[in-house]
Every structure is written in C-alpha cells, then in structure tokens.
Amino acid sequence: MKCEMFENHLDGYFDGSLSELERQSMEEHMQACPECRREYEAQKLLLEELRHLDDGVTAPPDLVSGAMERIRRERQPRKRRAAYWLGGAAAAALCLTLALGTLLGGAGAAGADSAAPMAAPMAAGAAEEVAEAPAEAPAPNALMAMDAGADRIVTEESVADDSAADGSAAKNRSAEPEYGLKIIREATIRMETENYDEDMAALEQLVSSMGGFITSREEYGSEQSAKTGENPRSLWMQLRVPSDQLDAFVEQAGEVGVVTYSGISETDVTDQYADTDRKLQAYQKQYDRVLAMMDQAATVEELIQIESELSRLEMEIENCQGSLNYWDTRVNYSTVYVSVDEVRRVVSANPTMGERMRTALANSWDDFTQGCQDLVVDLYAAIPYIAVWIVVLAAAGGVAVLVVRKVRKRREK
C-alpha cells in the first residue's frame, strides 16, 4: 500500500466502511511508515476530541422558553382581540358604576373628577393589551369616547411597556426623536389551497404588485404525485414586502387561499439603533480628529500608528453603518413567511368554536387510537407470559383435578 492510498482510506478506516483486507493492509503499512502512523494518530485524536468537544455544554435554561415566548407573541393578535373585549367590558362596568354613583350620590362633578384618575389606569391596562390590535376591531358605540382616550394612552403605554424590558429606553426615546420608532414587523401565513398552480401564480403576482420580492423558496412534492393525493405539494417561502404594505399583503394573501394561521410579530430595535447611531457619530468624530493629526505627524512611526488607527476606525464605522443599514432594510421591508399546502379539499378555515371542538375531538381520537394500538401491542408482547401462565395454570388445574378425584374415590370407598 502506498502512502497516498493510506491517506485516502483513512476516513473509511474510522467510519468502519473498509473491508477486512483493506484494514489489514493499512495496519501493515502503518507499522512500516512512521509518517502515516502519525497521520493515523492525528486522525484518531482528532475524532476523539471532536466527539467530546462539547461534552457538558448545555443550552441556556431560557432557550426553549424564550423561543416559545416569541412564538406566542407571534400569535398574539387573536388573543389581543379577546383582551380588547375584556378591557371594553371593564371600562363599561366602570362607566356604569360612575353613572350610578353620580345619579345616586348626586355628587356631580366632584364624583366624576375623583373617578377620572381611576379610569385612566384601567383603560391603560386594557390598552396595553390592545396595543397592536387591528384598527378594524369593532368598538361598542357606547364606548366610543372612552376608546379615543384609550387610543392615546395606547401609544404611550406601549412605549413604556416595551422599554421596561430595556431599562433606560424611555429617556433615549424622548431625547432622540429624529429616527422615530424602529420596529421590525414580520408576518407568518399558513394556507391551504385546492388550486395550487393558480394560487401560487396569484401569490407571486401579489408579491410583485406590492413591490416585494421572494428571497427563498422550497417546494416539496410534485404535480403528478399530487394528483393521486398521496404526496400533495407544499411550498415554503420567505419574502419581503415594503412594511407599509404588510397589513394589506396579509389581508390580500388571505383571499388567495384558505388561511389556517396568520400572525404578525413586532420587534422594537429603536434602542439598539439609537445606540449604534451614537457610536457611529462618535467614531466619525474620532476619525476626523485622527485624520487631522496626520499633518502634524513628525516621524514615519507616528504616521504608521495614525494609519493603523484610521483603518481600525474605518472598520468600526463600516460595522456600525452595516448594522444600521441592516436594520433599516428590515424595518422598511417586512419579512413574510408563507407556507402553502396543497389539499384536495380545504378543511380548515378560521378557527371557530366548531373548528376548535373538531380539533379537540381529533386530538382525543388520536389519543384513543394510540391507546388502543398500545394496548394491542402490549397484549401481543405479553403472549409469552400468557403462554407460560396457561401452561402453569393448566398443570396446576390438572393436579387439582387429580387430587379431587382421588379424594372423592377415597370417600366413595
């Protein structure tokens, strides 16, 4: 065996994919060639180290919960509508109490005044939940006035709420209003369709008509297998639409297929943006100062030092600029994740009471069938035991019968 061949076979040796003969000739070669022996030792060490490289490394404890938190936040819109109604109901109750109090107590203006500060936090509490509720959510007529008040509080409250997570944010925001809020909005849409090709074309048309573009796309299944119903097609794509078109896009995409799930998530990057921008300005000032030193440099060494400082600053500036550009594009262009499943008959629609009942029933049916299957499997697995027990019991029974007969015979005698 040649050294070159040895090297080629090295991976196979450790993966166990070589024939016995090949292994043997490699081992022989190793005995004779210290060079290859070293190569072998290095590979062995490498693989062993790699296998244990991350031993004992565990995920941070909040990894899964953090991800789940983000997933839930994505679904929030539906829940928020419920909160909206709850908040509305609470406000209505308050109004009623107020009115009653005014009527009964006859305290008039004084009563209303003292009640007003109470109303505000209540409304704010409700508003916090409603912060991102779609504008078209119906507002009960009686609460129109209340509603306008709540709306105003909404914006303040949601700002305070977001910044609570990041400590000092509230200050920054009032100090630097020039960016406005930098909010990245992303949407997820899942839909089912019976007319896959048509609907896909419609969807693509919609994307381009709104000035958006598709950034990645994965398709599974084929038209042919879809016809038999065995392997329906499905599509996953990621696309970008101008963020001011996002709501319109989600709405219109909903008319293309039957939406089984849609959600919009929002991430506020205003703080990071502001921080980076401040950093950028600081670096730029520093750059200018260092540049000015260039003229005063007396020696070559000084010059070199200045050069290297300049290039370091340039890199920092580029980094900051890059981050800002990245956020800007993400803020201006929303990412939309669309997944489409081809179905022969669309079953799911917007979740209604009936839909949920059906899902619940389907879940427990799954449990039930699973349970039945488990039972059958367990019974099947128990056959050897049962067989042994039958033999043992039969033997015991036989003995018992014999004994009884004997006793009877003896008595008869």
Partner 1 sequence: METDMLNLKRASRGDERAFEALITPHADATYRLCLRMMGNEQDAADMAQEAFLRAWRSLSSYKGQSRFSTWLFRVTTNVCLDELRRRKRGESESMQALEENGLEIVDTGDTPESALDRAELRRELKSAIACLNEDQRAALILRDVQGLPYEEIARALDLNLNTVKSRISRARAALREKLSRGMELSAEKRV
Q: Torsions phi, psi of 163, nearest 5?
A: -75, -20
Helix H or strand E encompassing 134: none
* DSSP percent split of the chain into helix, strand, coil, nearest 5: 70, 10, 15
Q: How far apart are CA 212 and CA 206, in angstroms?
A: 8
Q: If DSSP codes are grouped into helix, strand and coil, which group holds residue 262?
A: strand
Binding window for partner 1 (CB under 8 A); candidates: 163-171, 271-279, 302-310, 334-342: 334-342
Q: Are strands 258-268 and 183-193 parallel, antiparallel or unpaired?
A: antiparallel
Using the rule CB under 8 A, which residue among 75, 101, 247, 272 binds partner 1?
A: 75
Q: How far apart are CA 98 and CA 119, in angstroms?
A: 10
Q: Residue 154 class from Cβ within 10 Å (0-12 exposed, 13-18 middle, 19+ buried)? A: buried
How are strands ordered across the β-sheet holding 234-242?
213-220, 234-242, 333-342, 183-193, 258-268
| R_g over Cα of the chain | 36
106 lies in the site for partner 1, by CB under 8 A: no
CB-wise, 51 or 409, nearer to partner 1? 51
Binding window for partner 1 (CB under 8 A); candidates: 92-100, 245-253, 296-304, 357-365: 357-365
Binding window for partner 1 (CB under 8 A); candidates: 132-140, 163-171, 244-252, 364-372: 364-372
CB-wise, 49 or 412, nearer to partner 1? 49
Using the rule CB under 8 A, which residue among 2, 24, 27, 72 binds partner 1?
A: 72
Q: Torsions phi, psi of 118, nearest 5?
A: -70, -35
How many C-beta neighbours within 10 Å does residue 343 have? 20
What is the per-residue DSSP string for 152-171? HHHHHHHHHHHHHTTSTHHH
CB-wise, 1 or 90, nearer to partner 1? 1
307 lies in the site for partner 1, by CB under 8 A: no
341 lies in the site for partner 1, by CB under 8 A: yes
Using the rule CB under 8 A, which residue among 25, 102, 172, 234 binds partner 1?
A: 234
11 lies in the site for partner 1, by CB under 8 A: yes
Q: How far is the CB of 411 from partner 1 (least distance, A)?
A: 58
How many C-beta neighbours within 10 Å does residue 246 have? 21
CB-wise, 114 or 332, nearer to partner 1? 332
Q: How far is the CB of 147 from partner 1 (least distance, A)?
A: 31
CB-wise, 94 or 346, nearer to partner 1? 346
Q: How far is the CB of 340 from partner 1 (least distance, A)?
A: 8
Q: How far apart are CA 289 and CA 293, in angstroms?
A: 7
Using the rule CB under 8 A, which residue among 21, 59, 104, 145 binds partner 1?
A: 59
Q: If DSSP codes are grouped into helix, strand and coil, which group holds residue 352?
A: coil
300 lies in the site for partner 1, by CB under 8 A: no
User: Please, what sign has the CA dihedral across residues 136, 140, 141, 142?
Assistant: negative
82 lies in the site for partner 1, by CB under 8 A: no
Binding mask 188-217 for partner 1 (x = CB under 8 A): x-x---------------------------
272 lies in the site for partner 1, by CB under 8 A: no
Binding window for partner 1 (CB under 8 A); candidates: 53-61, 98-106, 267-275, 295-303: 53-61
Q: How far apart are CA 120 and CA 152, in angstroms?
A: 11
85 lies in the site for partner 1, by CB under 8 A: no
Binding window for partner 1 (CB under 8 A); candidates: 52-60, 148-156, 201-209, 405-413: 52-60
- Quick one: DSSP state of residue 261? E
Beta bridge partners of 186: 265, 335
Q: Which residue has the tokens 């219109």?
A: 252
What is the maximum alpha-carbon separation in the chain? 136
Q: How far is the CB of 47 from partner 1 (least distance, A)?
A: 6
318 lies in the site for partner 1, by CB under 8 A: yes
Using the rule CB under 8 A, which residue among 374, 398, 403, 408 binds partner 1?
A: 374
Q: Which residue has the tokens 């004997």?
A: 406
Interacting residues with partner 1 (CB under 8 A): 7, 11, 15, 38-39, 42-43, 45-47, 49-51, 53-54, 57-60, 63-64, 66-68, 70-72, 75, 188, 190, 218, 220, 234, 236, 260-261, 315, 318-319, 322, 325-326, 337, 339, 341, 359, 362-363, 366-367, 370, 374
